[in-house]
Structure 1
């Protein structure tokens, strides 16, 4: 392939890939609630584009089909351990002639924090199922750790990628070169991030997301929040407000205000409006029961993605697991 690149999220999709959570060892008593949220996301996306859910065994396939409904395809062909398809699936690329391939980012359980034997093989399994050329990146990372505008610029937190639990012995420059090579990009914008405080070491897709080349959304916390995540969000906003992209454009940064209150008391809860998934004709995002902030976020997303319906879901049980809608999905661009 010549000059392959990872396209932005808003290109037309062939389908969305998801994974059915089935392991009580991972989720414990929260499993049933998380399954309800995953089924809701799958059914909602299926209103707009095909959805394929991977499940590890025949029992899970039957369970997922029952919960997700007939519009969602469920397959046992690619076994999984958990639901975080953004991090385990391959990133899909297209070259100048329109040919596709897929690249695995060497998923290692977020720096060996969890053992996921099946999840480590998901990227290769999906590529083989689709009969796409496949290879592995020269770095360890996850899809949620890198944002691309599809026009030469990527964003990432140093805390997640420049970390010995993923890329021991590699300098930031070496990691940057490897990321740019996989994504077909020319410029990397780094933000420091937060290391060791969550399982991902602070993925970028919770706080900062590209809307289009030259434009990025950043979620900021309420003014009275002073925790490590609030400081990180403000730092990301400041860095990106001063940054230029691969084309030399000063980034336009659109502020999204996070909720003042949420329904969950779980310390891992991800109160991110920006962990949304763009699908054909829609944006699937979270809501948190904060009527004013939920509506403000909906309006901002609608303006950022004109012509797409913004659908906000209550997926609190998923968000209490440390991730959100974007984390649980991976788009496959049209052939």
Structure 2
């Protein structure tokens, strides 16, 4: 069975990526002294970034089908952190404000930025906040090329630098160093990075880059010294099998994933499953595992489209006081929500309907990006 999960329905319309972006790979591994460290997702946030859906790339139906998910995410987050909303233009900003006011969402903890975007996947193209040696937050701008030039990306690739300019923050330009989407990597906050080679060491992102070179770059810029590499599956979907669809660090000692049969359904190679289940942290200590189910049934959108595949709950997002979990109007929503709640007893799990988003590309983690406090 060939199951292609969360490939955008509009993928055939991607005709031009608008620019030729590739990382220039150094001949030798770069100086890998740790320069920056990335706080884990569960560390305190100043806020969360969202790129709001618009009509200018894929049409009004695309935008309208997704609005409800963005309203729900915003409403769930504003109680404990700022929500930074990227609107395509002033017209879109006014439309978004009307949507939020109609839903009774207060605007007091929302900041709007007007930047042109190609799409909504801020996890992959947005700013990566790290701390320098003086513990100051700076923004890293990694290269983004539309998941290997499969989609338009020229607007989204400029977002981190635009945010840094507006925030008067230091920007670390890594565009020529590595193409790296945020959803392609997971960190445990204690020096370990988990990723698939298919989404990073791929000729459509970083041609010629070796594992050693990638590790040196990550060590210097994210502060990771221990690496868990899965092979992944190039061409599995538009991301070439991002790690955050099926395996996440729930905290410094827990990996959130699925059971073996569900991972195989997800087309994770058996060798990768073995590596994942035997993962150890930088101190050679085995991780604890929380295994979530897939949705019980194949997902059907709110407008009645049968997607023909099940949904993952692993792609959730950790806020300051809430955890936003993808839900599918499925009997396993409650099961997954309860399991995730057990991992975060001080946070409230909120299920967010992602059925329409899932038809177009991903789930909650894919469309959120944290700004640490």
The TM-score normalised by the length of structure 1 is 0.91
Superposed, which structure 2 residues align to 1:211-290 within 5 Å?
211-220=250-259, 227=265, 229=266, 231-232=267-268, 236-264=272-300, 267=307, 271-290=311-330
Please identify, of 18-27 and 197-206, the stretch whose mean Cα deviation from structure 2 is larger. Answer: 18-27
Which region of structure 1 is more displaced relative to structure 2, 67-76 or 86-95? 67-76
Following TM superposition, by how much is the alpha carbon of 1:98 offset from its aligned partner in structure 2, in angstroms? 2.4
Identify the residue that residue 68 of structure 2 maps to in structure 1: 36
CA contact (8 A) 1:155 1:188 kept: yes
Q: C-alpha deviations, 1:69-115, integer Å up to 9, x for none?
A: 44363524433221111011111011353211111111111111112
Preserved CA contact (<8 Å) 1:53 1:73: yes
Aligned residues: 330
Preserved contact between residue 76 and residue 322 of structure 2 (Cα < 8 Å) = no
User: In angstroms, what is the RMSD of aligned CA positions?
Assistant: 2.3
1:92 pairs, out of 104, 124, 129, with 129
Larger deviation, residues 74-83 vs 34-43: 74-83
Partner of 2:333: 294
- 1:331 alignment counterpart: 370
The SS at the match of 2:215 is helix
Secondary structure of residue in 2 paired with 1:194: coil
Give, in whole Å, the separation in 2 of the partners of 1:245 and 1:266: 40
1:176 is matched with which residue?
A: 215
- How has the CA–CA distance of structure 1 residues 133 and 235 changed in structure 2, closer, same or farther, with 3 Å as cutoff? same
The CA distance in 1 between the partners of 2:135 and 2:338, in whole Å, is: 34
CA distance in 2, matches of 1:27, 1:236: 38
Q: Secondary structure at the match of 1:179?
A: helix
3-state DSSP class of the match of 1:93? strand
Instruction: Answer whether contact 1:102 1:133 (CA < 8 A) is retained.
Output: yes
**How far apart in 2 are the matches of 1:214 and 1:197?**
28
Deviation of the 1:172 alpha carbon? 2.2
1:103 aligns with 2:120: no
> Higher relative contact order by CA 8 Å / sep ≥ 6: 1 or 2?
2
- Normalized per residue, the structure richer in helix is 1
Q: Which blocks of at least 5 consecutive residues in structure 1 are unaligned?
A: none
Residues 1:191 and 1:176: Cα distance change in structure 2 (over 3 Å) = same
What residue is the counterpart of 2:96 in the other structure?
64
Alignment of 1:136-215 (within 5 A): 136-137=173-174, 138-215=177-254
Could you list the per-position Cα deviations for residues 97-145 of structure 1 after superposition, in whole angstroms to 9, with x for gaps in the alignment?
Answer: 3211111111111111112221010011112222221112321010010
Unaligned runs of 5+ in 2: 1-32
Partner of 2:27: none
Judging changes above 3 Å, is the alpha-carbon distance between structure 1 residues 324 and 270 closer, same or farther for their aligned structure 2 residues?
A: farther
Question: In the alignment, is the contact (CA less than 8 A) between 1:217 and 1:256 conserved in 2?
Answer: yes
Q: Which moved more, 1:13-22 or 1:170-179?
A: 170-179
Q: What do the CA deviations read for 1:137-175 (whole angstroms, capped 9, x no partner)?
A: 321010010001111001111110011110012122212
Q: In structure 2, do the counterparts of structure 1 residues 297 and 194 end up closer, same or farther at CA, with 3 Å as the change threshold?
A: same
**Cα distance change of structure 1 residues 270 and 185 upon mapping to structure 2, 3 Å threshold:** farther
Any conservation in 2 of the 1:218–1:237 contact (CA below 8 Å)?
Answer: no
Q: Tell me if structure 1 keeps the 8 A contact 2:189–2:252.
A: yes
Among 78, 81, 84, the alignment partner of 1:46 is 78
Structure 1 match to 2:8: none
Distance across 2 between alignment mates of 1:28 and 1:6: 37
Describe the shift of the 1:221–1:294 C-alpha distance in structure 2 as closer, same or farther (beyond 3 A). Answer: farther
